[in-house]
Each structure stands twice: as structure tokens, then as C-alpha cells.
């Protein structure tokens, strides 16, 4: 039985400490931000004189106060604070620090900024027409697409418009910075990437990294929104703390956070596809355009993942996908759960639906005929072989378990009756897959390190570069280590992530937090375990009276020496594949005891073994570094192994839509998810259901509304994430039994991002309901994503809404 999240008891009792829960210091100052309300403008003047006269205002700071006022995750193209020109509504131009939050808020209102409004690029199409791009276009191509399209028996071309979404984490961006002795600064940040916080602060203040320590205990949600964009927020706190030599705290309101920070990148994709009369895709030519916002942030990598996932679960012999990031005057868009994957998958799933509609076939049959197999049709368009492919089995299992064919017939009959008798409710059903690549597509990010300490009482402290944002990465790592040593999980304490323990870490992102950091920690524990095993083997041959605990103080016995440690970068080396646990010299670690497998009666407690190791001066701490093996993706050629493995799954969603209101109800969802061999099945099921529901909001209700580039829907009153009433009326989830994911630690698979992409089954199910209408019997329904109530009504009654669609 797997234990719950390690912080569950703290969360439900209100004892969990988040950044803003840190005790306020007597001399602490509080920061408010002043940002532009305009998408594009010159800063003509800033008058802060009235604010400076306010009692309690300790300082007002501008971009010029930074040693280096430029940052960026991939390209350093974004000012920490704008100085002469603003390029998005929400771009910070000043900070005010005061002795209380109320005074800081009052001072913020007194600062007057004069702007000269400039023309703004606020659509992807305008960016294309003005050639406003971030970096160059990218292409991944296989086969002869042009010829294959021309020779295809059937062709269609269309587009898909995918809007953005907000992360809506419960804890807004927050940071507290403490000035320390000799020019040091300690920062507590709600960040998925402590090393980036450290480096941005270092550059911004002109201090060496050795003087900056970033600590992340936990976040109240991240979902990618705190991968890069937490860094400048922390830099604001650090700047004020450094200049005033006082602790400084910045806590964004939900409104400010939503206005200032970037979202999931909007995409507009066009495509041409050729297929045969059986629905098999012969060629696909796709162009992907994303809205990157005003600065690069992570948008080029997001585009790359969208391109790599444009095949999803399907083998396409001739395929060309071209991607271009557009520069607009919106907040710089950023990572979001799934990264670019959902945009590529949404496109190909819409294509599958359109092919099925054109051929009067069931979309599931089109999916199955195009699915990757385990023989010849098993190589992606970027030339990576799909190993451990469970997709055909997942399709057949879910089709049977959810009674897809029977329900399809029933739904078709209901819709025919509804149209004949003018019933308001239409129903739809759709079964879609996901094949999600696990690893960062930038090779050097696929590394991690861990520090493991075993104390003399037999308890462990473990430090890794992984950050805990509620997903349970600490639980998984703790379980990996406790089972390896045969201890209860309560013996392992996962420490706050800190750059003075784990340096140069990668962000906790790309669903790789456990894979990378868990493997590093396991390798460290196995080095200690190998030494302990050698020690135990020798202790079993020595009378206990001569053990070091009795003799070390007197020096009457020679020390026991053991080989220092094993050296391997493979977390599955030395391990039994079925158990995942390594054994050295046939020494077993179980239930708090250590023994030889051939003589289990002769044993020593784990605690006693640790005491003996200490008295024999055998190291009980270890540092280890791990990197994913075998990644060979060449970004210039678009070829090679981009991922360590693929997480796979399928979902069948049934919806009803009300023709009077456009309201969607999700009646039933069935999911089968291949997560290899889960470390903690309960947490993985939580990730599957939570990720799916979050994605459901993206495809149905979460619509961002802007006016002249300024976000209007910046609160829960205007931005609608799913509530308990929106969850599926029937929700069935099971994990697929897969014992063969050999590249990854203990055969597990990542659960963080892949389930979100299964939400596309809801979006396609909505289309499925509408295509029974007379006006869609030939043409496939056209809707943007998300399919909000308004979007559905426009598709139901296009003539009535025509005047609103006119530019």
C-alpha cells in the first residue's frame, strides 16, 4: 500500500509553509510593481516625487538600478524592467519598497507615468504579414511530401486555431530576499528553477553566483508558469534587499500575476493532408505559427515540441512540419503543462476526425489504421524508433472496456432522434490517444545531481534539484530510496531544494523531475549501499564483541576497510529488474535489517550497521550525477532520438451539448494510461485525473479576453477554470500493466504532462456531437479551441452570429 503525499497532513491542517508564510522580519520591506497598461509605448516620463514623500516609502527602483538589465532563458532579450519602451501590457517599469504592504500599494498609485502609444502587433496574422518573428523557422521532414500529396486519392486542407490559457496556480509569484554578511543574498522563491533564479539575480546585481543562494521548499502550483518567469520576480526582491540592505518581500496579487505573466502559447496551424480510401494518411504538410509574445522566453523550444508531437500516435510516411514563432505585443508566453505537445496533438487529432468525416468512417477506425505498430510502421518523422509501443493494445483494450461500439450506436440514434424532434441535447463521443516524449529536447538539460546523507540514527536527508509543486516528486524519490534500503518512507527527509546543495540544476519540467533526480539520488544511495554491503559481509565473520562500537574508542581492533563505491550512470545496473532493487555481495536490505540472502537468520539492524560504518570511518554520505543516455536529436537536421522513451495513453470521452445555451457536460471519461511500473500508484492516478481535468478547462471553458493587449480576464470571476461541477459524471481510470520500459529508472514512466493531452478527446467529442446536424453532414464543424459555450453557439448557428464574426 502506497502512502499519501508527504505534505498531505500539513496541507489539510494548514501547517504547510509556503514562501509568504515565512515570518516577517522587523526591518523587512514590501514591494509593489508598477507596470505598463499599454501593449506598446514609449515611456516619456516617470514622476515618483509624490510617492517618495509618503511616510514609510524606503525606495523606488528602475531598470537602471540593475547592474545588467537583461535576462532570458534561451535568448537574453528581455529587460528585467523596461526603461525607454514597453512591449507588452504588464511589463514592469518600476518597483516601490515600503515598510508595509498598504503603504507600498498607496505609493504605487502615486507614481505617474506618461506614455506615447505606439502601434501594436496583436494577432499572429499581423505578425506574419509584418514578418515579426522570434528566431528563424524550423523544419522537420521525411519522405517526398509534395509528390505524395499530389498522388493521394483524397486530399483536404484546413487550419486549427488554438488559444492560450493561464496557469492559475493557487500561489501567485512570490519571493523573499535576505541580505547576508559579506555581500551574500539568500532568496526564497516560488520557482520551478532555482538555478535560473540564482543566475538571473547574479547577472542582474553583478554578483558572483557564489554569493547567491536560492531555496525552494515548495510551491502552491506551477504547471510550467514558474519555470522561467519566477526568476525576474525574485530579482526584484533581490535588488531591493541588496540596495537597502534589508529583507525584501514581493507577493503578486492574482490580478497582477495574471496580467504580467505569459500564458500557454496560442497557435494557428494550417495543413494539407493526403489519404487513401481506407483513411490511411499518406502525406501531411503542416505549418505551425505560435504567438511568442514580446520576448523569446521558451517559445522556440515550445514550438519544437509541438513539431515533434504533430504525429502523436500515428505513422505518417511522408511528413513535413514547419514551425515559426511570432513576435507580438503580448506578455511573453511560456511553458505550460504539456509544453508544445498539446498543440501538435490537437492538430493531428482534428485531421483524423476530418478524414473520418470525409470518408463516412468511424474516427476510431481511422486512428487504428494509422497507429504506430511494432514492425515497419514504427519510426517517427524525426527518425526515432517507437520502442515499447503499447498503443495498439491500449486502443483495443479501451474500445472493449468502455463499450465504445455500443455507445457509438446509441449516441448516433439519440442524435438522429434529437434532430427529428428538435430535442435540445446532442451527444458526442471520441476516443483519442497520446504518445508523449519524455526528456528535454535540449540535451544538456537532461542532467541532475543529488546529495544523500545517512545520519548515525539511520535516518536520511536527501537534497536534489527537483522542486515540489504539489506533484509529489519528493514522495517518489523518497520511496525509491526507502525501498532500496528496506526502510519505511518516514526514515527519509526530503530537504528544500537549494542551490548551495545542488548546483547547475535543470528546471523541474518536461515531466522529468523524478526520472532525473530520482535516478541521481538512487545512484548516490547505491554507492553507500555497496559500501554498507561490503561492511556487513565482513561483520558477519567477526564476533560482535570485536565490532567497532565496542572497540573503536580504545583502538584495540583494526578498522574494517571496504571498496569506496561503485561507478555507473545506469540506475538499473546491479538491480533485479522485477524488484528494481540492487544487491551487492548477495546482501539484502529488508524491513530495517541487513542479512545475507543464503543465511537470513544472521542479520544486523540497519541502524547498527550505520553505527559500525561510522566507527570504521566509512562514508555515509554521497553525491551523484545522472544524465539521460542515448539522446541524439540534431536540431539542425531535425533527426535523431529526441526522447528517452514515450508515455502513452488513451481516453474515451462522452459529452452532451445544449443547443439552447451551448453548455457542455462531460458525461463519462474512461482512461487507460501506460505509466510503466509506478513508484506510487495513488499519486500517479492523481496526476492522470488532475492533468486531464486541467486540460479539460483548456479545451472548454478557459478563455482569455484582451482589450488592446491588456488582459481583462485576470480573476476567477472572469476566467473559468473547471469546478467540481464540471468533472465527468463518470470517471474511470486505470493504469496499464507494462513491465518493459527499460531505459528509465525502475521501469517507471512520467505522469506529469502526458495525461493532459488526452483532454483533446473532449474537444473532438463536442465536434462529434455537432457533425450530426444537417449543415455539417458534408463540412466538418469549425471551432476554435477552447470550445466555450459561445464558440459552440456560433458553430450551431453560424448565420445568426455572422455579423459578430465580421472584422
**H helix intervals, 701-805:** 760-770, 789-796, 802-805
What lies within 8 Å, CB to CB, of 654 at 6+ separation is 407, 411, 427, 428, 429, 666, 667, 668, 669, 765
- Residue 283 pairs with which residues in a beta bridge? 274, 318
What distance in Å separates the CA atoms of residue 196 and residue 626, rounded to the nearest whole number? 19
First to last CA, the chain: 59
Tell me if 371 sits within 8 A of 431, measured CB to CB.
Answer: no
* CA angle (258 as vertex; 341, 5 as ends), nearest 5: 65
Note if 171 is an active site residue: no
Cα distances from 497 to residues 71, 181, 221, in angstroms, run 23, 22, 16
Could you tell me which of 525, 536, 527 has the C-alpha nearest to residue 483?
Answer: 525
Task: Count the neighbouring beta carbons within 10 Å of the beta carbon of residue 36.
Answer: 23
Cα distances from 538 to residues 486, 559, 561, 563, in angstroms, run 20, 11, 9, 12
What distance in Å separates the CA atoms of residue 504 and residue 209, rounded to the nearest whole number? 10
What distance in Å separates the CA atoms of residue 453 and residue 458, rounded to the nearest whole number? 10
Residue whose grid cell is 551487492: 584
Tell me if 333 sits within 8 A of 299, measured CB to CB.
Answer: yes
Coil, helix or strand for 246? coil
The residue annotated as part of the active site, out of 753, 784, 790, 799, is 753
What distance in Å separates the CA atoms of residue 702 and residue 475, rounded to the nearest whole number? 31
Q: Do you know the residue count of the chain?
A: 807
Q: At 159, which helix (H) or strand (E)?
A: strand 154-162
What distance in Å separates the CA atoms of residue 615 and residue 156, rounded to the nearest whole number? 75
Q: What is the DSSP string of 608-642?
A: HHHHHHHHTT---EEEEEEE-S----BTTTTBS--
Could you tell me which of 102, 216, 215, 220 has the C-alpha nearest to residue 172?
Answer: 220
Annotated active-site positions, please?
Answer: 753
Amino acid at each position: 500500500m502506497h502512502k499519501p503525499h508527504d505534505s498531505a497532513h500539513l496541507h489539510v491542517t494548514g501547517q504547510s509553509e509556503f514562501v509568504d508564510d515565512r515570518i516577517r522580519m522587523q526591518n523587512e520591506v514590501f514591494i509593489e510593481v508598477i507596470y505598463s497598461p499599454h501593449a506598446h509605448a514609449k515611456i516619456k516620463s516617470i514622476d515618483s516625487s509624490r510617492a517618495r514623500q509618503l511616510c514609510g516609502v524606503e525606495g523606488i527602483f528602475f531598470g537602471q538600478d540593475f547592474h545588467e538589465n537583461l535576462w532570458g532563458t534561451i535568448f537574453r532579450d528581455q529587460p528585467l524592467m523596461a526603461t525607454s519602451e514597453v512591449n507588452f501590457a504588464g511589463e514592469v517599469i518600476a518597483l516601490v519598497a515600503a515598510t508595509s504592504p498598504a503603504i507600498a500599494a498607496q505609493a504605487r498609485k502615486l507614481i505617474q507615468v506618461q506614455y506615447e502609444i505606439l502601434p501594436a502587433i496583436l494577432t499572429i496574422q499581423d505578425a506574419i504579414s509584418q514578418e515579426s518573428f522570434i528566431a528563424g523557422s524550423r523544419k522537420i521532414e521525411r519522405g517526398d511530401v509534395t509528390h505524395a500529396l499530389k498522388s493521394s486519392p483524397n486530399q483536404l486542407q484546413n487550419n486549427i486555431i488554438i488559444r492560450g490559457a493561464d496557469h492559475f496556480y493557487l500561489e501567485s509569484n512570490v519571493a523573499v530576499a535576505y541580505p547576508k554578511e559579506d555581500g551574500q543574498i539568500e532568496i526564497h522563491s516560488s520557482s520551478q528553477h532555482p538555478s535560473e533564479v540564482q543566475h538571473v539575480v547574479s547577472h542582474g546585481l553583478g554578483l558572483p553566483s557564489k554569493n547567491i543562494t536560492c531555496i525552494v521548499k515548495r510551491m502552491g502550483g506551477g504547471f510550467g508558469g514558474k519555470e522561467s518567469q519566477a526568476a525576474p520576480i525574485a530579482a526584484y526582491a533581490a535588488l531591493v534587499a541588496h540596495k537597502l540592505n534589508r529583507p525584501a518581500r514581493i507577493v503578486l496579487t492574482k490580478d497582477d500575476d495574471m496580467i504580467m505573466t505569459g500564458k500557454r502559447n496560442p497557435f494557428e496551424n494550417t495543413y494539407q493532408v493526403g489519404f487513401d480510401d481506407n483513411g490511411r494518411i499518406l502525406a501531411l504538410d503542416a505549418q505551425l505559427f505560435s504567438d511568442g509574445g514580446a520576448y523569446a522566453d521558451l517559445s522556440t523550444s515550445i514550438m519544437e515540441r509541438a513539431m515533434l508531437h504533430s504525429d502523436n500516435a500515428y505513422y505518417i510516411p511522408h511528413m513535413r512540419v514547419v514551425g515559426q514563432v511570432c513576435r507580438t505585443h503580448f506578455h511573453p508566453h511560456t511553458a505550460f503543462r504539456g509544453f508544445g505537445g498539446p498543440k501538435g496533438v490537437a492538430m493531428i487529432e482534428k485531421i483524423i476526425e476530418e478524414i473520418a468525416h470525409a470518408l463516412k468512417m468511424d474516427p476510431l477506425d481511422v486512428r487504428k489504421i494509422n497507429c504506430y505498430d511494432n514492425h515497419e510502421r514504427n519510426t517517427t518523422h524525426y527518425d526515432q524508433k517507437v520502442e515499447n509501443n503499447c498503443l495498439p493494445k491500449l486502443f483495443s483494450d479501451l474500445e472493449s472496456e468502455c463499450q465504445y461500439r455500443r455507445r457509438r450506436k446509441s449516441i448516433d440514434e439519440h442524435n438522429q432522434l434529437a434532430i427529428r424532434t428538435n430535442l435540445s441535447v446532442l451527444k458526442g463521443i471520441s476516443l483519442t490517444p497520446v504518445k508523449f516524449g519524455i526528456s528535454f529536447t535540449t540535451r544538456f538539460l537532461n542532467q541532475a545531481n543529488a546529495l544523500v546523507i545517512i545520519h548515525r540514527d539511520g535516518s536520511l536527508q536527501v537534497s536534489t534539484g527537483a522542486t515540489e509543486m504539489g506533484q509529489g516528486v519528493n514522495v517518489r524519490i523518497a520511496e525509491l530510496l526507502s525501498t532500496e534500503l528496506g526502510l519505511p518512507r518516514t526514515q527519509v527527509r526530503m530537504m528544500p531544494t537549494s542551490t548551495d546543495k545542488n548546483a547547475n540544476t535543470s528546471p523541474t519540467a518536461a515531466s522529468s523531475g523524478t526520472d532525473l533526480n530520482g535516478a541521481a539520488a538512487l545512484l548516490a544511495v547505491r554507492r553507500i549501499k555497496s559500501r554498507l554491503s561490503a561492511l556487513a559481509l565482513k561483520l558477519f565473520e567477526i564476533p560482535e564483541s570485536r565490532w567497532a562500537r565496542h572497540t573503536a574508542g580504545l583502538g584495540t581492533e583494526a578498522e574494517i576497510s571496504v571498496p569506496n563505491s561503485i561507478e555507473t550512470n545506469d540506475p538499473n545496473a546491479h538491480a533485479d529488474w522485477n524488484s528494481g532493487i540492487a544487491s551487492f555481495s548477495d546482501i539484502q536490505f529488508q524491513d530495517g535489517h541487513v542479512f545475507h540472502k543464503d543465511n537470513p537468520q544472521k542479520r544486523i539492524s540497519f541502524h547498527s550497521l550505520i553505527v559500525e560504518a561510522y566507527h570504521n570511518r566509512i562514508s555515509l554520505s554521497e553525491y551523484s550525477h545522472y544524465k539521460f543516455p542515448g539522446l541524439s536529436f540534431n536540431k539542425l537536421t531535425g533527426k535523431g532520438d529526441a526522447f528517452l522513451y514515450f508515455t502513452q495513453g488513451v481516453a474515451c470521452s462522452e459529452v452532451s451539448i445544449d443547443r439552447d445555451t451551448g453548455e457542455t457536460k462531460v458525461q463519462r471519461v474512461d482512461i487507460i494510461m501506460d505509466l510503466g511500473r509506478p513508484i506510487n500508484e495513488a499519486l500517479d492516478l492523481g496526476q492522470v485525473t488532475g492533468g486531464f481535468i486541467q486540460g479539460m478547462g483548456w479545451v472548454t471553458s478557459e478563455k482569455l479576453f484582451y482589450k488592446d493587449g491588456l488582459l481583462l480576464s485576470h480573476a476567477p470571476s472572469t476566467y473559468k477554470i473547471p469546478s467540481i461541477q464540471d468533472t465527468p459524471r463518470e470517471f474511470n481510470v486505470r493504469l496499464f500493466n507494462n513491465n518493459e520500459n527499460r531505459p528509465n529508472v525502475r521501469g517507471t514512466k512520467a505522469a506529469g504532462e502526458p495525461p493532459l493531452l488526452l483532454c483533446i478527446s473532449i474537444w473532438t467529442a463536442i465536434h462529434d456531437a455537432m457533425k450530426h446536424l444537417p449543415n455539417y453532414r458534408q463540412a466538418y464543424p469549425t471551432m476554435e479551441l477552447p470550445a466555450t459555450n459561445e464558440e459552440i453557439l456560433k458553430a450551431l448557428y453560424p448565420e445568426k452570429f455572422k455579423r459578430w464574426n465580421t472584422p
